[in-house]
Structure 1
């Protein structure tokens, strides 16, 4: 997985990693749907129950506390 071309989602800063996981539990469906749509746009072919357990079995994620912007350019936001 050295170059897995994974997605990066910025989340609010938290004092404790468990708080970041709690945040992820609140927003995982949006992330799940975004990932599924990037694979197949027909949502009739998606799993019926996008549960937290299924999310955890399909995706590897990690919570990072630091992001470094090395480009010095304006950040563009994509809507999803």
Structure 2
């Protein structure tokens, strides 16, 4: 195992996200909030020594995170919520922050833009 000099944030939808998702037109998904929260996006962050610094960093990039979470379910931005403020982000998502990240795979990590496949 190899220590990775990053922190990680796990973005977990809350009830407002769940309600928005089920209100989308032509949505036949029958997902519970617990199901949504069981397999969430994990974001690598700089290696912070204090949780407050990590939260401050998330506050800086919240708009990207908000859009990423919405786009994962609906690409039509006209259907996205009107209020995508920092306050709304924290109302729509819980964030678990983990300060230690380990890589169990030997070999280099490959970077590619979000949404791009090999």
Matches within 5 A, 1:22-33: 22-33=56-67
Structure 1 residues 54-69: aligned runs within 5 Å: 54-69=88-103
Q: Secondary structure at the match of 2:96?
A: coil
Partner of residue 82, structure 2:
48
- Structure 2, unaligned stretches of length 5 or more? 1-33
Q: Return the structure number with greater strand share.
A: 2
Query: How well do the aligned residues superpose, as a CA RMSD in angstroms?
Result: 1.8
- Bigger shift: 50-59 or 27-36? 50-59
- Count the aligned residue pairs: 80
For the residues of structure 1 that align with 2:52 and 2:43, how far apart are their CA atoms? 17
Structure 1, 22-31 or 60-69: larger mean CA deviation: 60-69
Find the aligned partners of 1:15 and 1:70 in 2 and give their Cα distance: 23
Give me the whole-angstrom Cα distance separating, in 2, the residues matched to 1:32 and 1:15: 25
Q: What TM-score, normalized by structure 2, do the two folds share?
A: 0.61
1:12 match: 46
Residue 60 (structure 1) shift: 1.6
CA distance in 2: counterparts of 1:31 and 1:54, whole angstroms: 12
